[in-house]
Structure 1
Amino acid sequence: MNNTTESSRNVLSEQHFCSLNSKQRYLKITALAIVTLTTYFGNSLILYTLQKYSSNFKGTLYMIISNLAVADLLLAFGLTFQLAEYVFPNLESDKYFCVIKTCCIAVSITCSSDMLSYMSIDRFCAIMFPMRHFLNAHKKKSKRCILAVTWLVSLLIGVIPIIVSAVNISDDSPRGFSCKYGYMIPYKASMFAAIFLPIEFGFNVCLCLIVMWRVLTNNAARNNYRKSMIKCLLTLQIYILFAVCWSPYVVTTVLMEMNKEGINDYFCFREFAVLVGFMNSGMNWILYSLANRKFRKSFKNVLSCTSVKNNDNTMFRL
């Protein structure tokens, strides 16, 4: 009961301090629309490219990237619901609409985070235990099982707290139902995510730096030095982009907990900070094209409708 009362007070405060004028509201809708369309376009391009030039994008890394793209498309689907809510404010009071939207966003973010960890562990094993990784790399069934488990864990973590929260919200509440950020996701789950994400980022970066150090100092790895370093640098850049985009939201959530008396001052900022986090999903394809020559040439061929044979490996040489 105490948690419900505190949640109600926080949401009412958020509604009071986050009232936007017409210009600000249109600006927010425009920004969200751009992020949504970019996310749809960029990740569809990634999936199409990986499928069209599948023989040139072999390995667990590119399989993980394809799953990251699917997770980002799920986020775009959730953001489409968010846009509909802005255009038709009456949808905000629809509990089922809010649950679907929030679940899509939560599962997408959770899955992206888990996939990044899988990516760092895979790169670590590939360099530290090359023979074992080489043997396991040809076992597609085991990789698919790991990816399936990752999706299942993300689904459970992202959906269960939201469903429980929705069930506990009374339809007879005098304040009605709100679909604002932080309302559907339990407070403890939100704080856990805010603390866990920086720890996970540090873990991933440490593994990546260990791999790069190992490649630079191990003579046995010098035969694949350039190829391994390119993959490590791409992986590291993906981590950094994810951290930069989500840092404002994470920092704001932590500050809200540390300064409860001024909690209302952070609500509006967090509403816009989460948009910066969403931008990460629409920027990955740009990062791939800038950091990886194979992606850059493939994207150029797809966007220019250039016909290239799928087995022409010389064109995609790293």
Structure 2
Amino acid sequence: MDTPVLSWLLNRSLLLPLDSAQHPELRLDLLGTKASCLQLAATRNVNIILQHYNFSGKLTNRHSGDEGMGLLRTAFAVISCIIILENLLVLLAVLRCLRGRRWVYSCIASITLSDLLAGIAYLCNLCLSGSKTFQLSPQLWFLREGILFIALAASTFSLLVTAIERYSAMVRPIAENEASKTLRLRGLIVSCWLLALVIGLLPLLGWNCLCDFQACSVLLPLYSKDYILFSVVMFSIILLGIIGLYISIFHLVQASSRQSSSRHGRRRSLRLLKTVLMILGAFILCWSPLFVLLLFDVFCETGACAHLHNLDWTLALALLNSGVNPVIYSLRSVEVRRAVGSLLCCCCVKAGLCKPGSCLVISDINSGSSTESSLSPKHWELIYKTLWPSPSAGAERAAHLFCNKSR
């Protein structure tokens, strides 16, 4: 190709307005081989991200009104901040008050951390979207998208570990020291996070479609369709496994309650079913639209899938799962609820916004009931009035001891 023509194409790629439709003359596959394309991208002589977005059709019908935050994106940003704050609150409460308790709280902490990461990743995605997308290097683009995949993988793996541990405890109840079990489980959770990190960063490590336009996704123009298919299939299989494990757990609990003929056993099995349905139902409802859209993306020809160009609403729906999870844990676990309430009370007392006697400071969280137990608001109100009917020196000392105990 003549040098003047090549220069004209490069200039067009750098000056392409965001409201333009597809321009076939800007396709990098017309500039030469994949090797020369990668060389041009590496030297920043051509905007490789812009080229991929143009080829996938994501620049079609893109107008200046799409730039900036906008009302909808601002609302999503506010929701992301709320999700970050609530997951941070639950995570700090669990680490501060329940870290030495049952092994299940290590799993809850892991899931909460992944939800916190998802909120941060989505907020960063919003801030770096629009015209800022084309100012990123390919490495930063892969990192921006990869953090969301890391959060999804870590959350899914943590749910799987929780299901496996609960199932094995019921099928083969082996006497094991709680401390050693917690230590073993934490090692397993760390391994899950390392695996999630590798899976989320695979495109950054080389499994991508840079300059291989026909193999690229429409929704994520620099991601290989093979990688997206691998991710969706893997997460779907894990989810089906989790559902199967929890169904087996419920049947075992139900059979055990029938044998014991105790009302408490029946209530416990019913409560377990409700908790499982809430967690799995929220996960399926929030993530299924994104999985379905990604599957359509994999099997749809580039240029023939105009309905796939908008990923925002499915990502926002998936993000809601990160906001629902801490609410479920707080509603279904009296210990988590106590820990969160105590942490809020400590912050309130330290900030001088309330007196120590005006809120509940739990000094016996570690001796509370199991995660299947629950207290109604009336019971909490009765506890408040019974423990501290009025501000007192005793309550003040209790608040001081609890809020300043070692982390």
Q: TM-score scaled to structure 2, two decimals?
A: 0.64
One-letter identity of the residue aligned with 2:290: Y
Displacement of 1:64 in angstroms is 0.6
One-letter identity of the residue aligned with 1:127: M
CA separation of 1:294 and 1:262: change in aligned 2, threshold 3 A: farther
Q: Specify the alignment match of 2:70 in structure 1.
A: 26
- Which of 192, 204, 224 is residue 242 of structure 2 equivalent to? 204
Q: Tell me the number of residue pairs that the alignment of Structure 1 and Structure 2 aligns.
A: 307
Deviations 1:226-260 (A, max 9, x none): 55764564344222211111111111122233443
Asked if the contact 1:215–1:222 (Cα under 8 Å) also holds between the matched residues in 2, the reply is no
2:232 is the counterpart of 1:194: yes
Displacement of 1:160 in angstroms is 2.4
CA distance in 1, matches of 2:111, 2:296: 29
CA distance in 2, matches of 1:51, 1:120: 21
**Percent identity of the aligned residues?**
18
Question: Which piece of structure 1 moves more, 136-145 or 151-160?
Answer: 136-145
One-letter identity of the residue aligned with 2:107: I
CA distance in 1, matches of 2:170, 2:262: 11
Q: Specify the alignment match of 1:59 in structure 2.
A: 102
Displacement of 1:63 in angstroms is 0.8
For structure 1, list consecutive stretches of 5 or more residues without a partner in the other structure: none
Q: Specify the alignment match of 2:14 in structure 1.
A: none
Deviations 1:79-138 (A, max 9, x none): 2321321376266433343233223222111111111111111111121112x2x41643
- Which of 189, 194, 197 is residue 152 of structure 1 equivalent to? 194
Q: Specify the alignment match of 2:119 in structure 1.
A: 76
More helix by share: 1
RMSD: 3.7
Question: Which piece of structure 1 moves more, 231-240 or 58-67?
Answer: 231-240
CA separation of 1:20 and 1:114: change in aligned 2, threshold 3 A: farther
Which structure 2 residues correspond to residues 259-274 of structure 1 after superposition, within 5 A?
Answer: 259-260=300-301, 263-274=304-315
The structure with the largest alpha-carbon Rg is 2
CA distance in 2, matches of 1:184, 1:259: 16
For structure 2, list consecutive stretches of 5 or more residues without a partner in the other structure: 1-27, 38-48, 349-358, 374-407
Asked if the contact 1:115–1:150 (Cα under 8 Å) also holds between the matched residues in 2, the reply is yes
Q: Specify the alignment match of 1:114 in structure 2.
A: 157
Q: Specify the alignment match of 1:44 in structure 2.
A: 88
CA separation of 1:113 and 1:312: change in aligned 2, threshold 3 A: closer
Which structure 2 residues correspond to residues 149-228 of structure 1 after superposition, within 5 A?
Answer: 149-165=191-207, 169=210, 182-218=220-256, 219=259, 225=265
Q: TM-score scaled to structure 1, two decimals?
A: 0.80
- Which of 312, 331, 339 is residue 290 of structure 1 equivalent to? 331
Using CA pairs under 8 Å that are at least 6 residues apart, name the structure with larger relative contact order, 1 or 2: 1
Asked if the contact 1:117–1:200 (Cα under 8 Å) also holds between the matched residues in 2, the reply is yes
CA distance in 2, matches of 1:151, 1:161: 17
Asked if the contact 1:42–1:284 (Cα under 8 Å) also holds between the matched residues in 2, the reply is no
SS for the counterpart of 2:363 is: coil
CA distance in 2, matches of 1:227, 1:308: 28
Deviations 1:28-58 (A, max 9, x none): 4224302320221111111122134317x82
